[in-house]
Amino acid sequence: MAGYDDYLAGEPVIVTAALTGGVHGKEANPNLPETPEEIGEAAAACEEAGAAVVHLHARHDSGERSFDRERFQAITDEVRERTNLVIQHSTGGTSAPVDARRQSLRTDPPPEMASLDMGPLNRYRHLTSENTGATVDSLYDEMVDRGIKPELEVFNDGHLNEVAGLLERRDLDDPIYATLIFGGGTTSPPSPRNLLNAVANLPDGALFNTLGFGRHQLPLTTMGILLGGHVRVGLEDNVYYGRGELAESNAQLVARTAELTETLGRPVASPDEAREMLGI
């Protein structure tokens, strides 16, 4: 790993805000946005707080997760009207068929980025996502056809093998951008050593993003900043600001991260700086 002066000092941090997710809703935190208008307002507040990328899921009016292209379109339109953020759509989906998951890629215009789960995943006792190699290739190919940069979601060490396999099967544009995910289920156990190992096993030249679920969000994203990476925070991944204290908003979590990264000597990237860094 390069020295601090070469690798860290002054290098901007891309902060991604994951606003709503597709699992828990307002029952977990009433400040979690669900409607297109709520998501648009939350995105604008996150941009002001220091976010450069917004990771989007869609929900029905009932609050249940939606895979409808029209719902993603409504959300994207709200975010584009209010912000200059890099828009990243989710293609993940526990127990959802791949044809439903690809609908988020078909908005007009397409999102600039989209998540790509690199392998199978279990969460809690009843949620699973299959993500076969054929599924990964199919979603990746559609992203390329639509000019969408994939964000490779690495939930465990085995998914690092899947990243290597995708590189053998497909020609990914540089820089590769991978999100390293830590928590429960079949995600990597949340520890500093596991984050160090994951970073060391990334392909040469890859950029990485650190994601910690729940109470692991703050310590692991802090470590990710120190290692020269980028970070993702938000109510999708963590509904608390502190022990027993619900977060007031996605922007509150982004603002804490922005203040932290500035304190550690790395400014937050603007949306246009993030576009340049990510090659989009």
Q: Could you report the per-residue pLDDT of 55-80, keeping only the tens digit for each?
A: 999 999 899 999 999 999 999 999 99
Looking at residue 96, what is its pLDDT?
Answer: 81
Q: What residue spans define the domains of the chain?
A: 4-278
Residue pair 209/230 in contact by the 8 Å Cβ criterion: yes
pLDDT in tens, 88-118: 999 987 778 889 999 999 999 999 999 999 9
pLDDT at 40 over 80: yes
Short-list 247, 214, 245, CA closest to 23: 214
pLDDT at 81 over 90: yes
pLDDT at 171 over 80: yes
CA distance 250 to 248: 7
CA distance 174 to 94: 29
Looking at residue 4, what is its pLDDT?
Answer: 41
**Neighbour-count burial for 158-180, b at 16+ CB within 10 Å, e otherwise:** ebbebbebbeeeeebeeebbbbb
Looking at residue 8, what is its pLDDT?
Answer: 65
Average model confidence (pLDDT) across the chain: 94
Architecture of domain 4-278: Alpha-Beta Barrel (3.20)
Amino acid code (one letter) for 218: L
Looking at residue 1, what is its pLDDT?
Answer: 39
CA distance 120 to 195: 20
pLDDT at 6 over 50: no
Predicted structure pTM score = 0.95
